[in-house]
Structure 1
Amino acid sequence: MGFDMVSLLDAFFRRAFTSAGLRPGSAAVDADTTIHFWAHPSLLLQPSDQQQPRPVVVLIHGFGPDPTWQWAAQAGPLSRHFDLLVPALLFFGASATRAPARSDAFQAAALAALLTGGHVPGLGASRTVHLVGANYGGLVAYHLARELEQQQGQQGGGVRVGKVTLCDADACWGSEDDRALAARSGAADVAELLAPGDTRAVRRRWMMSAYRPFKHIPGCFLRDLFRKHFADNREEKMALIKGITAREGFELTPLPQEVLIIWGEFDQIYPVEKAHKMREKLGEKATVKVIPATGHLPQQQDIKRFNRVLLDFLLQPSSTSNGSAAAK
């Protein structure tokens, strides 16, 4: 069998991570749950008293291929300023659990255990951790910020959350949105779109995610992509979609941190007006930045602009005055 394009891209995206100084690791956060991740080596060592630690950015992926595919374009630019930690969510890649829960809140609890349970030795009370989540990962990032804040309040210390970035992550989702998305996409239901069950469904997802997508994608590429990045743990992923907390009477409320909401102007999965609805729910510390001429994946479709918006937010001193704006 020849060296297919998906394998070539796998190697390319992993190379982007290793070039940014990231190394793979794993941790059993409890008796049932193991999380695999990429991390800067400084996070895997006990911190030095003489060294001033850099802030940490945790990049949380959404439904789709391996996290290296989803964050390859951000790893290098972010690593010049921050130490990165990029986990694979449960049932993505090799991360797995025997626990029965299937929700974004449960994913967040597992990540909180990774960050606070001594599994990442370089994290301590002196480290500021910024959370960046895309799509489903944005829902996890919101819950993780809540979880870490609660732990810090109860324990009087621990990991301190700095800022939170939510990228095309609709935490105001409801059953009417399910029906509208299924109608727009032509999928039988939302689960079939987010967790495709065959090559045809992968193509539909591609057409919905991209802005002005290239329509003539070779079938062999889609087959390999499905086999290597979508076929595994599909039953569990379907359960995760059904367990999204926004469907269960969940109420989005403000976070104590500054929040940046980044959205693709022409997102066909989560329409851009949802970004402004989220800002209203999250309050005065939330800001919206719309990336022009992009769809559901602005971090891949306008890499330079997305990275500039994200870095400007993470690097600027904390401010008490925020508002809604469009990216320039």
Structure 2
Amino acid sequence: MEPALKSTSLPALARRFLLFPNRLSLVSFQDLLLSRSFQRRGLIPVSVDLPPSAAGAAATIHIWIPAEPRHSLPPLVLIHGFGANAKWQWDRQIGPLSRFFNLYVPDLIHFGGSRSDGKDFSVGFQSRCLAAAMKQLGVSKYSVVGISYGGYVAYRLATDAGPAVVDRVVIMTAGIGATAEETKALAEKEKRDVSEILLPRKPEDLMALMRRSVHRPPRWMPTFLLRDFIEVMYTEHRKERVELLKELLTKGVGIDPLPVLDQETLIIWGDQDNVFPLHLAHRLQRHLGEKSTLEIIPDAGHALQLDKSNCVTDLIENFMLDKLDDS
């Protein structure tokens, strides 16, 4: 059966930029430039429609896929975190990685162009949607990389699909091993609703999020630009993202006790992570045991793929190509 694919050559944010010329949105324009960057690397955007039977509720997954997959290269899925869409989080990695892998870069449900009318906000639902989308695309086996929230999804996907489908796994700065009590304590430490931090409404909140996520954030940014970013990236589907966050904070991966993955797994963490403490990286490595490797990147925060993009890219490449010991 042919997969239900729809071309998305002109992103919604680009249309917004073009339809309202009197209101110049620099963020929408940058989003358009990122789309062009992905296309220059040989990727095209498609939307995969999933029937209710595929994941438990009807959904549409927007995903960047190779325009011309090279059969000699292994497939690699990059799963973004709880922030902007996939393009903004993986742009620095797709150039180098596209030389060695057929890249698949999805927007998670309720981010970017991915949607669902269902009321399942669990990590398991995100995992099932990605698995169903990859199956419809005809990719039977692949490796996965997930950062932060995407790390939870990658872990669940590797657990549910097993090594017959998911080959190798990279988990980046995701507090998967935190107990329910620790997660609650981390949330309460903020002295405010966590959704107000991760889904900022005001420029000062966005700056606070940047300072929390990036090791050396910019000292100042124009207020109009911060407001533009909030309007473009955090306004749409805010209610659904709040529900996703609540589900994550209460249930995590969604399997208790936490399973041990059968796949070879690389854990990458920044030593200056101010979201998930470094001890959670060591705990996850101990939980996974001999099939796991932990790499700690110095002078990197939570958004380590931005802080140390070349180092992160090299670690992913070497691990996936089984060259980690030689790097």
| TM-score relative to the length of structure 1 | 0.84
Moved more, 97-106 or 131-140: 97-106
Matching residue of 2:261: 255
Counterpart pick for 1:312 among 314, 318, 324 = 318
Residue 200 of structure 1 deviates from its aligned partner by: 2.9
Whether the 8 Å contact between 2:315 and 2:324 is mirrored in structure 1 is: no
Q: Distance in 2 between matches of 1:224 and 1:12?
A: 16
Mapped contact 1:182–1:188 kept (Cα < 8 A): yes
Q: Which residue of structure 1 lines up, in the alignment, with residue 137 of structure 2?
A: 120
Give me the whole-angstrom Cα distance separating, in 2, the residues matched to 1:188 and 1:306: 32
Q: Matched residue of 2:215: which SS? A: coil
Q: Which residue of 2 aligns with 1:137?
A: 150
Contact 1:265 1:272 in 2 (8 A): yes
Cα distance, 1:292 vs. partner?
A: 0.8
1:214 aligns with 2:222: no
CA distance in 2 between partners of 1:301 and 1:187 (Å) = 27
Q: Do residues 89 (structure 1) and 94 (structure 2) align? A: no
Alignment match of 2:167 (pick from 150, 155, 162): 162
* C-alpha distance after superposition, 1:248-280 (max 9, x if no partner): 673322211100011111010011111111111
Residue in structure 2 matching 1:6, options 14, 23, 27: 27
**Displacement, 1:129?**
0.5
Deviation at 1:229, TM superposition (A): 0.6
Structure 1's unaligned 5+ residue stretches are 44-50, 153-159, 320-327
C-alpha distance in 2 between matches for 1:290 and 1:5: 35
1:66 aligns with 85
Kindly provide the CA deviation profile for residues 282-317 of structure 1, in whole angstroms up to 9, marking residues without a partner as x.
121111111110101111111111111111111116
Q: Give the secondary structure class of the aligned counterpart of 2:300.
A: coil
Question: Match of 2:246?
Answer: 242
Unmatched 5+ stretches in structure 2: 1-21, 53-57
Q: Which residue of 2 aligns with 1:157?
A: none
Distance in 1 (alpha carbons) for counterparts of 2:320 and 2:129: 24
**Correspondences of 1:224-303 after superposition (within 5 Å):** 224-244=228-248, 245-246=251-252, 250-303=256-309
1:191 aligns with 2:195: yes
Which residue type is aligned with residue 273 of structure 1?
A: H
Distance 2:305 2:323 in 1: 23
Residues 221-255 of structure 1: CA distance to partner in whole angstroms, max 9, x if unpaired?
A: 11011000111111111111111232867332221
Partner of 1:54: 73
Corresponding residue for residue 209 of structure 2: 205
Superposition CA RMSD, Å:
2.2
- Separation of aligned partners in 1, 2:182 and 2:71: 49
The residue type paired with residue 223 of structure 2 is: G
Deviation at 1:87, TM superposition (A): 0.8
Tell me the secondary structure at the aligned position of residue 284 of structure 1: helix
CA contact (8 A) 2:176 2:253 kept: no
What SS class does the counterpart of residue 243 from structure 1 fall into?
A: helix
Cα distance, 1:161–1:176 mapped onto 2, change above 3 Å: closer
Q: Percent identity?
A: 33
- Say if 1:112 and 1:144, in contact at 8 Å, map to a contact too: yes
Aligned residues: 297
Most deviating of 51-60 and 266-275:
51-60
- Asked whether the equivalents of residues 105 and 143 of structure 1 are also in contact (C-alpha less than 8 Å), the reply is yes
- The residue that corresponds to 1:30 in the other structure is 51
Give the counterpart letter for 1:15 in structure 2: R
